[in-house]
Chains A and B, each alone.
Chain A
Amino acid sequence: MNPFEKIFNYQILSRLEDSGTMIISKHERGWLKLMLEHPTAAVAFDSTTLNKLHTVLELELSLDTSGLLHKAASKERHVYHPGVRIIRQAITSKSLLHISYLKKNGQPSNQQAAFPYKLEYSMVKREWYLLWYHIHNRRLMRTRLEKTLELVLQACPETDSERYTAIVQKLLSKRSVSADIVIVPEYNGELSRILYAFSCFEKEVSYDAEADTYTLRLFFDSSDSEFVLSKTRFLGKRVHIIEGEQLRRRMLESATNALARYAEPID
């Protein structure tokens, strides 16, 4: 199966777009057939739809990936979550959600008026989160779908939804931070590996040819600082945060506390 088919060519694509023509190749159907074998398909579709899809794809050749192995993957908590459908509807129609959820201390929350703006899937934790604006508290929230207890859709006047969207944008831009990380030149031989480890971030790389030094500037939401730190610790002595006071302080703390763990020799 060649992923570089003529039929996928960009000129054909844009001409078909102009004429409003949709095409679906056997490659795409074969892929879909493979994906429908995943147990999550039964959650994502109601049984009538799923049957229709199975019938249509009956004679298609499923993509064969038996030669493919995964390593170091997180366990999949879930892929599709039953809450996805109603939340997506709410986001699309710019509606409100009345939600209640289990708080971090394990207690159920009261029902809250939420303006949902995105559904986020964490590739690290392998589960869904609802990103929403807490109308009463005027704060951005992030709630694991697994922890939601009740989700009720409620229409929202356009003037309100526009106002909430603007507030969300403003709050998000406030939370956007950056950090500069230098690759210790001694480890330039491992450049590829290091860049791969950081390739999941929004970033800029600069290279000082004279000093043969690479510096990465990562851009992230301040609520994701922990993840940046965990990646930095992951690479150990190869990298060094040079800009971002709070993160530098945390790295010092980590190193100091880690060494304290090893203070007592083991028997």
Chain B
Amino acid sequence: MARESFDKEIQFLRMLALTSGAYNRQQYADKLGISVHTFDKTIKRLKEIASSVHQKLPAESGKEFAETMRYSYLDSSDPMLLFLFRAKSLKETESQRLSLLLAALHGEALTAKELLELCSVSMPSELSLPDEKTIRGDLKYLEQVGVIKRADRARPYRYTTNHDLIQNLSNDELQDLYDFVDIMANTQLPSVQGYLLRDGLKKHIVREQSDVDSTSSFLYKYHYYSRILDEGHLFVLLHAILSRRWVSFIYFSPKKETSYASKNTNPLFEKETEGQQDTLLPIKVIYDHQYGRWYLLGHHLRSGIKKYRLEGLTQISTGETADEELFAAKSTELEQRIQHSWLIDTGRKVTVQVRFFHPGPGIPNFVKERVLLQGQWGTVTDESDETFIYEIEVNGTIEIKPWIRSFGSSCEVLTPLKLREEMIAEWKEIRGYYESL
């Protein structure tokens, strides 16, 4: 069976997170390239997952669903969109069985035979009973994902849940671990596995020390919380990079109107897909902190270095292994080309010079502080008591421009002249918006 794809759910939640209920059902379905029926089915399924995870029932419509997310966002550091990663579908019997096995192995070591007996006693009567082969298959899977381990080497093997990580920790140490996991999951990348661990530790701590809530003291501002949706694709790509494998996918440019299209299995109804089929040797995944977006960069047979937004990738599959020499050569080339990219621009290098103005006597110098914090590899030279010069060699000016503009009247572009002129023209236009005041 092909691996279950979560493309539709990812696109769906992304649109929900970004547009926060701006569209009605029909508009929403149109933008996603799916039918209203599929839209309804998807939201029903996501709602089921979200309500089971958050125990807060989001309403039927996209708008109210979005509101649930909105109101939960700033009060806590619980990642609202994490429930996407809980979406793997599972037959009722399998989820019953796995839960039963895990509960039985919690703090106890049992053999496959003993577990089989347990199932025959404890499985709900309407579900079919597993045979020994099924149980052994389950144990193999659980051991492989590391949630259980063999208790000792004696045969027949006895299994138990793998709690080594927290077993020898005191309550205080456990709290320190929770704090660390919470902080790292929120401030570092990737986050998903950390959020899952945080979730488990949180429930464990609340169970053990139910009298105080020690798990909600932190807040993270301002977070691009939809960034974790792209982690759905991240690991396939990181793995492909590591193993030098080509990947194929259908790409929907985020600039297009439709961001997804259902896969038609009936050839009679097959529409021409609006996405573009592509094959790439992936070299780097880039996270852009300025917008909270992800990119995939790699080597394309016809076009050389090619860049994609991760959010536009669907139906990713891994293919042949590439020649190590080819990978090394393309990797070096790419690294050189993006060395001076503010984000991912591989255009011509220019020197940008900006004069910054201190906020004035008696006011803390937040301008310089911010330039030093965010100015990447640019250099800062004091010019006078009121000003300093920031200089950077960067590929093109398009990507750095918004950052410079965000400083408002605290700066003045000196070179290149073209950027200076663009800045003047933009400020004139912006002033026009507010002149009626």
Contact = CB atoms under 8 A, between A and B. Distances in A.
A151 to B, nearest CB: 14
Given A24-B147, A121-B187, A195 B19 contact: yes
A173 interface: no
B176 interface: yes
11 contacts: A3-B193, A8-B88, A10-B87, A15-B99, A22-B166, A41-B180, A74-B289, A120-B218, A205-B18, A234-B403, A251-B434
Interface stretch (B125-133, B317-325, B406-414): B406-414
A67 B183 contact: no
B242 interface: yes
B280 to A, nearest CB: 13
Interface of A: 1-17, 19-32, 35, 38, 41, 44-46, 49, 52-53, 56-57, 63-75, 77, 79-80, 84-85, 87-88, 91-93, 104-105, 118-126, 131, 189, 192-193, 195-197, 199-207, 209, 214, 219, 224, 227, 229-231, 233-237, 240-241, 248-249, 251-262, 266
A80 B178 CA distance: 13
Contact of A56 (B164, B197, B232, B255): B164
B180 A45 contact: yes
B85 A22 contact: no
A126 B373 contact: yes
Contacts of B431: 252, 255-256, 259
B282 interface: yes
B356 to A, nearest CB: 11
B232 A4 contact: yes
B250 interface: no
A25 B163 CA distance: 10
B221 A122 contact: yes
Classify the secondary structure of B's interface with A: helix
Nearest to A215: B22
A215 to B, nearest CB: 9
Q: Which of A1, A196, A214, A236 has the most C-beta atoms of chain B within 10 angstroms of its own C-beta?
A: A196
Q: Which of B141, B142, B183 has the most C-beta atoms of chain A within 10 angstroms of its own C-beta?
A: B183
Interface stretch (B36-44, B110-118, B209-217, B265-273): B209-217
Contacts of B98: 6-7, 12
B136 interface: no
A258 B412 CA distance: 7
B222 A10 contact: no
Nearest to A255: B431
B152 interface: no
Which 7 pairs across A and B sit closest by C-beta, in order of nearness?
A: A26-B146, A257-B409, A67-B241, A31-B193, A15-B99, A255-B431, A200-B222
A28 B22 contact: no
Contacts of B283: 67
Contacts of A10: 48-49, 52-53, 83, 86-87
Nearest to A131: B219
Interface string B1-41: 00110100000000001111111000100000000000000
B196 A28 contact: yes
Contact of B217 (A9, A26, A92): A92
Interface string B234-247: 11111101100000
